[in-house]
Amino acid sequence: MKGEDVIVFLHIQKTGGTTFGRHLVQNVRLEVPCDCRPGQKKCTCYRPNRRETWLFSRFSTGWSCGLHADWTELTNCVPGVLDRRESAAAKTPR
């Protein structure tokens, strides 16, 4: 999670995707675990020492590219969403 790559989780209905997606943000052992707050549907998954996300999924960014976006929709949408999120995080006072 220290590099520049981003995992894009393609959620496919009726395949256990919801369970697996939730597992990615709640149970994977990382140097900096995802921040999942009670009552919120999304978790914040930042890289160590940076306010950049390593995971693009329903549970980390919400339905940013539309409900059950397919591969083509995600390919066209993900770079712009990540750019907007990271520029907004950079503007946030630390």
Whose CA is closest to 87, among 58, 51, 36, 63? Answer: 51
Q: Judge contact between 26 and 33, C-beta under 8 A.
A: no
Strand partners, 55: 7
How far apart are alpha carbons 56 and 10 in whole angstroms? 9
* Catalytic positions, written as ranges: 68
Alpha-carbon distance values, 31 to 1, 12, 16, 22, 24 (Å)? 8, 28, 26, 18, 14
